[in-house]
Chain A
Amino acid sequence: MEKIFERPHSLSDFVLSYCPGCTHGVINRLVAEVVDEMGLEGSTIGVCPVGCSVTAYNFFEFDMQEAAHGRAPAVATGIKRVHPDKLVFTYQGDGDLAAIGTAETIHSAARAENISIIFVNNTIYGMTGGQMAPTSLIDQVTQTTPFGRKVENQGYPIHVSEMVSTLKGACYVERVSVDSVPNIRKTKAAIRKAFECQMAGKGFSLVEVLSSCPTNWGMSPVEALERIRTEMMPEFPLGVYKDCTETGGVR
């Protein structure tokens, strides 16, 4: 019988450690599918820092480095400088990328470092049990903002795609979402574009993915997807924030 659907080769048979209904798993799979489709399984080196996806080195079936909290873009820089011909990407949460690792993110973009960042924005620190993230929305209740995030106390959420797109070194920046099938398809296309941008040597790319955390949002998986649409998208509009891939890139 002909096989018409299978696990991407770039994904191992490890049982994913994500909570039921969490969209981290969807994004892991999309990355693996793109690596497969581009035929890069043997020439990819991924970097997963601390966060719910920290054990992604078990899930992906290519070379992986785990990184300290926030340091993935620096680690990826080290790898890429040694292996400029390999696909080098990071897979980072919002706490990782936009709080403790802000400097590493901004400077790898500014350097036009030829790496790709998959940025999973779920407006919360998932792994540590639901604390406020730099992307948490105003009034969002978290373990460390039990009365909601207030401007007077915690200020405003950070808009990573908007911020990074102002840097000359960024070649391609898009914000996507995995709340629905059409959006999942767009996310996959964005990841592919980012990886192609890198393999063509055009410079830094970042794909921000709006993702759910049913566990720490205290919602069912379906309600969580609804929250992405009703609460996150108004604050974090989807779209392409920068695209220099049609020209020669930024390097």
Chain B
Amino acid sequence: MAKVLMKGNEALAEAAMRCGCRFFFGYPITPQTELAAYMAKKMQKNGGTFLQAESEVAAINMVYGAAGAGARVMTSSSSPGISLKQEGISYIAGADLPCLVVNIVRGGPGLGGIQPAQSDYFQATKGGGHGDYHLLVFAPSSVQELADMTSRAFDKADEYRMPAMIMGDGMLGQMMEPVEFKDPIDPATLPEKPWATTGTGMKRKKNIINSLYLTPEELENLCIEREKRYDKIRAAEALYEEIQTEDADVIIAAYGTIARVAMSAVEAARAKGIKAGLIRPITLWPFPEKVFAKRAETAKCFLSVEMSMGQMVEDVRLSVNGKKPVYFYGRTGGMVPEQDAIVAEIEKCLKNSQAGMNY
């Protein structure tokens, strides 16, 4: 297919339908509006269901029902709505159901603001709901990657029988860029889900979708089984991009929208003679730990740049494991770190690391 110019939110919706998603349940919230609107317009023509639920709580439970019934299904929202969905997400994880949840993050806490932010990183990667569970979390940084990660998220959710999340922000959602889509697939050609509640048809034993286990041994065993699956995912599914890290003294860690600014900052720093580089995690869970551990051998220090008060920086520190100092620079509440400010931070942390200062 030829490239088309499209908004991020719409490209995500288009990609979802092309990879066989025929069920969307949501509740309006800025800044993911265009995604739902696009779905509302196109889903019916595709023979699917678009349903505006009475709340995010209802929407995610509709997703639970549809996922348990064997459908490729998604919901989208933004931070306050994602908080409401956490109950359902925990149940979905507990019942081992695949689905896609999109969070077009806005500033928080509380009602916060509607401008782009990355302050839901903890919620997404450390289990926003209750219990021992993880989501697959993808953090694209371009419209093309939004489209690509959407179909990957659905496929991986099916493969590992778990919920996946795409984290974007209003900037990425509203940004127009050229994007090339894969050819649409027929949902009937997706892999079978023999565990789904589809009606037994008197051909098999009954299926149960459930997260309740009243015997502690049974519940523990299930959590252990799930953790083994998570270990496999940690080993196989981490995605990242590295830019000029080979010889870098300072390595920036940045994902999503702000990675784009960080990339220009790396170039600006190089122009000034500073050896800067960038590691851009594309999956936030699993976190690409190994590349950070590897680069910790050669780099002098790391700088996590985020649109938050410092959340991913904790994972960078865990990965670097004390080998080199890890610094943080961020703006939040809808404010976006600027290139010059990042370059200044790069210079500062290089100086501080040489002086042995840790902060």
Which residues in A have some Cβ–Cβ distance to B below 8 Å?
41-45, 47, 54-55, 57, 60-68, 71, 74-83, 86, 103-104, 106-107
Contacts and interface: CB of A to CB of B under 8 A. Distances in A.
Contact of B206 (A62, A76, A77): A62
Given A41-B200, A45-B199, A82-B23, A75 B65 contact: yes
A65 B66 contact: no
Contacts of B212: 54-55, 66
A66 B71 contact: no
Contacts of B207: 63-64
Given A64-B206, A66-B209, A68-B88, A78 B69 contact: yes
8 contacts: A45-B199, A57-B208, A61-B206, A66-B209, A71-B61, A74-B64, A83-B199, A86-B199
Contact of B210 (A42, A45, A65, A78): A65
Contacts of B25: 78
B199 A66 contact: no
Contacts of A44: 199
Contact of B58 (A57, A60, A61, A104): A104
B21 to A, nearest CB: 12
In the A-B complex, list the 8 residue pairs whose CB atoms are closest, starting with the nearest.
A78-B65, A74-B61, A78-B66, A75-B65, A63-B197, A42-B202, A78-B62, A71-B61
A75 B61 contact: yes
Given A82-B69, A82-B71, A66 B61 contact: no
B91 interface: yes
B163 to A, nearest CB: 14
Given A42-B202, A78-B23, A83 B69 contact: yes
B199 A71 contact: no
B51 to A, nearest CB: 7
Interface residues on B, range: 35 or more
B63 interface: yes
Contacts of A77: 51, 58, 62, 65
Contacts of B244: none
Interface string B190-210: 000000011111110011111
B319 interface: no
Contacts of B57: 71, 74, 103-104
B102 interface: no
Given A75-B64, A78-B25, A57 B71 contact: no
Nearest to A47: B65
A75 B62 contact: yes
B73 interface: yes
Contacts of B49: 81
Given A75-B65, A78-B63, A82-B70, A63 B58 contact: no
Contacts of A82: 23, 65-66, 69-71, 73
A78 B95 CA distance: 15
A21 to B, nearest CB: 22
Interface in B209-268: 209-212, 214
Given A64-B206, A74-B61, A45 B67 contact: no
A107 B54 contact: yes
B87 interface: yes
Contact of B197 (A54, A79, A103): A79
A63 B199 CA distance: 6
A153 B25 CA distance: 38
B68 interface: yes
A78 B53 CA distance: 11
B220 to A, nearest CB: 19
